[in-house]
Structure 1
Amino acid sequence: MKRPAAFFLSLLVFAAAALFGAPARAQDEPSPEPPRLRLELDQLNPRVITGSAKTLTVSGTVTNIGDRRIARPQVRLQVGERLTSDRELKGVLAGEPIQDNPLTDFTTLTESLEPGQSARLDVTVPLTGQRAGQLSRTGVYPMLVNVNGTPEFGGPARLAAVSLLMPVLSGPARSETPSGKRADVSVLWPITDSAPHVLSAPYGGPLTLTDDTLATELDVNGRLYSLVAAARAAEQSNQRVADSLCFAVDPDLLRTVDAMTRGYVVAGAPGKGTQAAKDWMIALQQLVNGHCVIALPFADADLTTLGKVRSASGTPDSGLLSTALSGEATIHRLLGTDPRKGVLWPGGTPDDQALTAMSAAGVHTVLTDGSKLQSDSPVTGATTLPGGLRAQPIDGLIASAMVGSEPNPQTPTTVSAATQPAIASQNGLAAIAFEAGLGRGSEGAGSQLLVAPPRRWDVPQGELSAFLDHLGQLLAGGLGTGAPLTQLLDSDASGSASLAAGTHDQPASPGGDVTETLSNLDGQAAGLLSAMRMDATRRVQPEDIVAPVRDALVRGASTAFGTPSGSAAGSNAHAELAAIRDQVTVEQPKQTIALASGSSPLPVFVSNELPVGITAQIALKNNVGIRPEQAQNWFFPAKGGKNELIQIEALRAGRLSVDVSLTTPAGTELGTTARFELTSTEYGPITIIITVVAGCALLLLASRRIYRRVKESRAARTETR
């Protein structure tokens, strides 16, 4: 019995090792299956470790998003080695596994998690303990919040993790100050729409939005409200941060919100955000007063895409680029402040045609991701682009940290910063510290750092405030000086570079259907404009009537769409064109029209509600039995109706119908098609010919039948004889 007992005892030892030792080993082996747990962090304190910090606290929620029960979910914190190169930091941002240096032991969150259930995660680490000695040196460290568990019918594995960066300004219980020269830090603060919301804004008509999402963003705790409120609070509490901020404003957003203050329509009903729009505009005016402001392209349009839109003649429509680059006047009018002239922060990578258009529009400095600048020598400051434009580089490493990357296939359970903006803001803060020289001595000291968050930054107000507060802490700690953007813009450019596709904030190139759609709509707008004529009494320029369509075409190229379809890009322009075309239409007759003769004229009444006169052609379609005269141009005066007599020829008698529509001489359709019901008593030549032929045929058939009967009658009499 000794051998069986020993065998049984060995099995117990192996089972115990598997049960209690698995979690410590499983953290190195992420589950190859889809994520079963969702880990969301809601607190990280402190965001920057200094000598006064005693503990590090991480809190959040773990939720079972799978279809199996998870037994004994456990959590621990891990820290990697101090980062000393850009490659190492980029690897952490890309989700590469970090070295296993535990700050804590595994702690059980709950005995089990059923599908849909959640459990709180709260971990506090003493920063004065032995394990925390790994954070004793100044620098930037990768940290991992690691959750293990055992799914039902499976083995222990890492089921969720969050990777983030932690800057250490001075080790616990120390008072180090980063050595070297301070970096000049400037921050672009984007005030942009999450996406164009204008459905139509016709001349003299109400603003109509696709939905009321913008009202939500402007209201308390909304995205745009939070951006303004957080910056306002930082401006009042920290002069260093206030000096570093420059507000990048979308002129289209300003115009839309300004129109909302006077009332607007959503789905046929009054919008609910009028008061929120008024309050937000006042708050923004107060925020930017006396501060640096720069203009974004109108609707944050991709200038390269706009340059590919063709006019009716087949040549590029340079006017769209001019519209996109003329936002400085809008900012001055609505915010009461003058933006920095000649400075632009375009989205995407402008091509040569867009750069030429910028130069022609008075732009002399382009703010662009430094990773898009190609040069024979490293680009560390302002440089010159082909054509004489000046490029001020935005720090690409910081930008990448704040945007986040897609999940890494090697670590599928690690939460990406792209899906948790709070993590991205923490990583951005750490990247600023890293680039300012933290942990690299004087290697990066004295540099110019232009920090640009994502253009449509969407994080809670608390996270925005935390980012700015801790940025102020980094500046106060000796890492840098809050420098106005004007200071960077006034520095001398050195060397030359060219623009190429970068790694950050690069919209995908739109498909050919987008430029084709916009080009087609541009041609229709040109057709309308060419047919209009100013009314001497109303003094409204035809260009003002068509301007909303031009604005809509620019919105169709907005970088907010990412990679739009042709229908999405052209929806606003379609609505604006319809708002113009529907004001010039053929009136539907209320009764059937009787034609007195075969050449009687057809009365067509055209109503023109536009404040300009317009030239149009009357077209007859589905006109079987009617021969219309050759189309000619008719002029219809502003704000009135006019009856025209169209010469037609009826080809037969009876009931007839014809579709009557309007087009401009260039072929752009106007209004809706009207169905005319007609009656005619005229026997046209075709009818007469058919009648004669039918009569002759009837006469021949009747004669043949009479002949046969006479012949048969004679034959019958002959037989009886």
Structure 2
Amino acid sequence: MSTQGTDAALLRIFLAALVILGSTTLPMLVTPSAQAQPTGTATSTERKFLKLSLDSVTPTAITTTSDPTLTISGSIMNIGDREVKDVTVRAQRGAAIATPRDLRATLQLDQVNYDVNGDFEDVVPQLDKGERTKFTVTIPLRPGGGTDKQTLNITEPGVYPLLLNVNGKPDYGNQARLDDARFLLPVLGVPPPAKTLDAPEANQAVTAPTDAPVATTLLWPLADRPRLVAGVPGSAEGKVELTDDELAASLAKGGRLDQLLGALETVFDATPTRDRALASSVCLAVDPDLLITVQAMTRGYRVLASPSDPDGATRPGTGAAQAQTWLDRLRALAGTMCTVALPFAQVDLDALAAVNDPDLSARAMNAPAELVDSILATKSVRGVSLPDSGSIDKGAGMLLRGHGFTTAVLADSAVTPEGTADPSDTATPTTGRGDSKQQPTATQHAASAESADPDVIRLPAITAAPPSPPATAANPAAPNGNPTATPAVDPALRVATFDIWSATALAALGSNPPTPSFTPAKVRYEVSNDSRVARLQDALGAVSWAALNPQPNQPRSLLLVPPQQWSASKDEGTALLRQVELLMRGNLATPRPFQDLVAQPPDPRPYELDYLSQAAADAVPDRFIAPARDQGHRISELMRALVEVPEADPTPRQFLDPLRDDLIRALSLSDRRTGDATQADTFAQRRVDQTTRAMDNMYRSVTVLPPGGVYTLASEQSPLLLVARNDLPVSIRIKFRIQAPHEAKITDLQEQQLPAKGTRSFQIPTEVSDSRNLVIPISLTTPDGIPLGNATSVSVRSNAYGQALAIITACAGVLLFLLAGRRLWRRFRGQPDPADEGFDPGTRRRVNRYLRAKKRVIQQEHQEAQ
């Protein structure tokens, strides 16, 4: 056969294939986006036709007493550019979750991995562009009940991934899967199928094993983005300015913080018969910066008219009443349950350690517990730190231990058995803070993700002080030498680990869900593509997994840690609390107070920190470290010069602590896990700039007033009169720095004190040996020598003749001495003095009589006057 004949035959075969397959293949080639992508993948935003959203899942968790069918309601919207016909949906199920990692990873799998399929159910014959329709799918949980309908075939308890698949036929295309939604379904027990006339004897219910309930602790965070305007020191009036009034809306009915409290109030009501087991396992974790702001709002406040203009106009705030109501509700709850303080303003502890300012660190770490206790009238758990990132480096660990913290709450992937970290890892280029910040390898992360760490572990390398010496004859007070002595405190920092998979699922709740820094890279995706109902189901499934899946050689323990700036709604929070309560009622979980968790002895194996690479990427940038250090140092220098006056407000600490708080807020991790930290960087830079300007103004507020003109001394030893002014609302100690020229000698007054908002005059002993105009530079400093105010100069002129007068006086004295000696010498030799010549004796006698008569008259007048 010729070449032309062969080519023609192949062409005919190809065209025949296109005719046969054209109705199916060609449209799919033209419109590849008609195949829905797995939720959360990078291409999920490329949907062209339909958008599927879940509205409800009933029941949210399956128990032995649940209805034997699952009902899923949702909505479908045509978001494409053409109508879609024959819209149908069906439910599909995958295998039960076998490992904690699969709680997240399974939600990224394609629909082929969900191999148990229900029946397609018709939704609508046609859906036009922009049109939305509701649907409901009901599917039996298990076979039986006399129905031939496809079921989910769930016969054992567990956490199951479900997928809702929507199919349709777009114009110019064929029937295809156009979108889907994935979620987890916790099955705590399998109910028997429905009894029917055809199947009167239904299968029995299947229960989960309850011989090893999981000890469960839940933290309930209350925090917010820093709102106070920076650069405003404390005052006696107590009025504050906020950057915006969003916090008022959050505290008001229906706001985020209102709903978080409302969920607790709904579940922990005052019913006398209510089981208090759940309440004992929940601990409030409160940001002291939020409490400071809310308490200040109750006294009235103002709000910037433009948040981008901190020096611009302000308007009255509207949330004083809401703040008072919310604060009263929180006090009532805190008085009945565990409370612990979060780090101030969600500060980045690694950045705080890099700043290395003792006063700033003390304010950020030691003050929070005191603030929480004083504002909420409670006694919080002490010695425990909850870093917002869930991962810290060695510098932050040393900082915690050095400030008396015995325990840190960290992600279980942020620690590793000692010696297993990769020694070749170096400091991350984004930090540069002098610490070796380990970058875990993928293998290490995978291993830590699959195996749970003990509840509490010990970090021998992170210590506050050397261990106590052993008991000896020379040291009888050692613990072993004296039975009554207090046991030595373990110098090493301990870590209470939390499960990263449940924490990742809890973080996905709410209207503004972040992806935590400790979530592994392979399972990070944009969770906001999922509906809130689906994300709630994922959280309920993650919370339930440990209770349903005992693991060999692993603790039966679960610490649930939502993100600190949590946006869960009241309904979502209530559903979560009810799920934990359901686990406890079913003996699948047991309550464990937070105090008991942190007090239990650590695992005997040594561990070390494994600073996560994503935590380093989400950290506060290095460019804010040096400015925070510099301004913190200036605050401390000024604090040492201020004087605390009894019964005077504000005190030096009340006056300067707000500025320290501003520096801490500049190091906040708030809003740094959104994928774009531009706004967080802008807020931080603005706070640093405003604090710097405020400190400049304070140092300029204490100054010596220029006298003006030339200052004339009455004599060469007249005092120099100076006036110093203090515009600060607190008293301050000062010293004069006077650079006296060689012609002047000025006495040092040593340390002096200026009153608050007042002036004071000073007489400085001065001796000038020159009658010329002298220019004397004068300035003020703190007792430590830190310059205050603006330097000035005084022009001084003395009425004394100076050196010439001294010479003339000396010459006159010498001449007088010589003349007197000459007269005495001549009188001694009996020779008349030539100076007496021409003065005859008669005249001399008359002068003498006159002088004696004048003396008698003066004496007589004096006697008459007496």
- Which category describes the TM-score, using the shorter chain as reference length? 0.7 to 0.9
Structure 1 residues 109, 487: CA separation in 2 closer, same or farther (over 3 Å shift)? Answer: farther
Q: Which residue of structure 2 aligns with residue 554 of structure 1?
A: 664
Q: Give the AA of the match of 1:245.
A: V
Structure 1 residues 574, 547: CA separation in 2 closer, same or farther (over 3 Å shift)? Answer: farther
Deviation per CA, 1:48-98: give whole Å up to 9, x if none.
1223223323333444556x2352355433221222223433412556666
Which of 476, 483, 499 is matched with 2:592 structurally?
A: 483
Distance (Å, rounded) in 2 between the aligned partners of 1:418 and 1:667:
60
Measure how far apart 1:553 and its partner are. 1.2
Distance (Å, rounded) in 2 between the aligned partners of 1:606 and 1:163:
70
Measure how far apart 1:155 and its partner are. 7.2
Q: Give the AA of the match of 2:23.
A: A
Moved more, 83-92 or 452-461: 83-92
Measure how far apart 1:543 and its partner are. 3.7
Q: Which residue of structure 1 aligns with residue 234 of structure 2?
A: 202
Answer yes or no: is the 8 Å Cα contact 1:71–1:111 preserved in 2.
yes
Aligned residues: 631
Which of 53, 66, 74 is matched with 2:67 structurally?
A: 53
Measure how far apart 1:108 and its partner are. 3.9
Q: Secondary structure at the match of 2:627?
A: helix
Answer yes or no: is the 8 Å Cα contact 2:233–2:655 preserved in 1.
no
Q: Secondary structure at the match of 1:398?
A: helix
Cα RMSD between the aligned structures? 4.7
Q: Which residue of structure 2 aligns with residue 472 of structure 1?
A: 581
Answer yes or no: is the 8 Å Cα contact 1:203–1:548 preserved in 2.
no
Q: Which residue of structure 1 aligns with residue 472 of structure 2?
A: none
**Is 1:323 matched up with 2:427?**
no
Q: Secondary structure at the match of 1:259?
A: helix
Q: Which residue of structure 2 aligns with residue 513 of structure 1?
A: 623
Distance (Å, rounded) in 2 between the aligned partners of 1:347 and 1:485:
17
Deviation per CA, 1:499-556: give whole Å up to 9, x if none.
2134897871222212133223324434543554556894864343221111111122
Deviation per CA, 1:672-719: give whole Å up to 9, x if none.
x99xxxxxxxxxxxxxxxxxxxxxxxxxxxxxxxxxxxxxxxxxxxxx
Q: Map of 1:162-177 to 2, 5 A cutoff?
A: 162-173=181-192, 174-177=204-207
Q: Which residue of structure 1 aligns with residue 428 of structure 2?
A: none
Structure 1 residues 519, 77: CA separation in 2 closer, same or farther (over 3 Å shift)? Answer: same
Q: Give the AA of the match of 1:141.
A: Y
Measure how far apart 1:356 and its partner are. 2.5
Measure how far apart 1:106 and its partner are. 5.4
Measure how far apart 1:340 and its partner are. 1.6
Answer yes or no: is the 8 Å Cα contact 1:302–1:347 preserved in 2.
yes
Q: Which residue of structure 2 aligns with residue 343 of structure 1?
A: 384
Q: Which residue of structure 1 aligns with residue 542 of structure 2?
A: 431
Measure how far apart 1:227 and its partner are. 1.0
Q: Map of 1:315-464 to 2, 5 A cutoff?
A: 316-326=356-366, 327-348=368-389, 349-375=391-417, 379-386=453-460, 387=463, 388-404=492-508, 416=527, 420=531, 422-436=533-547, 438=548, 440=549, 443=552, 447-464=556-573
Measure how far apart 1:451 and its partner are. 0.9
Answer yes or no: is the 8 Å Cα contact 2:348–2:620 preserved in 1.
no
Moved more, 206-215 or 479-488: 479-488
Q: Secondary structure at the match of 2:207?
A: coil
Q: Secondary structure at the match of 1:280?
A: helix
Deviation per CA, 1:96-125: give whole Å up to 9, x if none.
6661433341544562342xx351342222
Q: Which residue of structure 1 aligns with residue 861 of structure 2?
A: none
Deviation per CA, 1:332-355: give whole Å up to 9, x if none.
211121112222212232333322
Answer yes or no: is the 8 Å Cα contact 2:392–2:414 preserved in 1.
no
Structure 1 residues 9, 529: CA separation in 2 closer, same or farther (over 3 Å shift)? Answer: closer
**Is 1:161 matched up with 2:154?**
no
Distance (Å, rounded) in 2 between the aligned partners of 1:578 and 1:611:
19
Q: Secondary structure at the match of 1:338?
A: coil
Q: Which residue of structure 1 aligns with residue 447 of structure 2?
A: none
**Is 1:138 matched up with 2:157?**
yes
Which of 114, 126, 147 is matched with 2:139 structurally?
A: 126
Q: Map of 1:1-40 to 2, 5 A cutoff?
A: 15=23, 26=35, 34-36=46-48, 38-40=51-53
**Is 1:214 matched up with 2:247?**
yes
Q: Which residue of structure 1 aligns with residue 267 of structure 2?
A: 234
Answer yes or no: is the 8 Å Cα contact 1:183–1:480 preserved in 2.
yes
Q: Secondary structure at the match of 1:131?
A: coil
Q: Which residue of structure 1 aligns with residue 732 of structure 2?
A: 613
Answer yes or no: is the 8 Å Cα contact 2:123–2:135 preserved in 1.
no
Q: Give the AA of the match of 2:208.
A: P
Q: Secondary structure at the match of 1:518?
A: helix
Measure how far apart 1:604 and its partner are. 10
Distance (Å, rounded) in 2 between the aligned partners of 1:418 and 1:517:
39
Which of 127, 147, 151 is matched with 1:112 structurally?
A: 127
Measure how far apart 1:159 and its partner are. 4.5
Distance (Å, rounded) in 2 between the aligned partners of 1:83 and 1:351:
33
Q: Which residue of structure 1 aligns with residue 345 of structure 2?
A: 299
Distance (Å, rounded) in 2 between the aligned partners of 1:390 and 1:557:
25
Q: Secondary structure at the match of 1:390?
A: strand
Measure how far apart 1:9 and its partner are. 14
Distance (Å, rounded) in 2 between the aligned partners of 1:65 and 1:299:
41
Structure 1 residues 294, 535: CA separation in 2 closer, same or farther (over 3 Å shift)? Answer: closer
Q: Map of 1:60-79 to 2, 5 A cutoff?
A: 60-64=74-78, 68-72=81-85, 74-79=88-93
Q: Map of 1:244-283 to 2, 5 A cutoff?
A: 244-267=281-304, 268-283=314-329
Structure 1 residues 516, 469: CA separation in 2 closer, same or farther (over 3 Å shift)? Answer: same
Distance (Å, rounded) in 2 between the aligned partners of 1:508 and 1:584:
35
Q: Secondary structure at the match of 1:389?
A: strand
**Is 1:178 matched up with 2:208?**
yes
Deviation per CA, 1:341-392: give whole Å up to 9, x if none.
2222122323333223322332212211111120169623211122312211
Measure how far apart 1:325 and its partner are. 1.5
Measure how far apart 1:416 and its partner are. 2.3
Measure how far apart 1:636 and its partner are. 5.6
Which of 554, 558, 568 is matched with 2:683 structurally?
A: 568
Measure how far apart 1:488 and its partner are. 2.2
Answer yes or no: is the 8 Å Cα contact 2:641–2:733 preserved in 1.
yes
Percent identity at matched positions? 27
Structure 1 residues 446, 87: CA separation in 2 closer, same or farther (over 3 Å shift)? Answer: closer
Q: Which residue of structure 1 aligns with residue 95 of structure 2?
A: 81
Q: Which structure is larger by alpha-carbon Rg, 1 or 2?
A: 2
Structure 1 residues 353, 28: CA separation in 2 closer, same or farther (over 3 Å shift)? Answer: closer
Which of 336, 353, 358 is matched with 1:290 structurally?
A: 336
Answer yes or no: is the 8 Å Cα contact 1:53–1:127 preserved in 2.
no
**TM-score normalised over the length of structure 2:** 0.63
Deviation per CA, 1:197-250: give whole Å up to 9, x if none.
454453334111111111111111111111111012112355342232111111
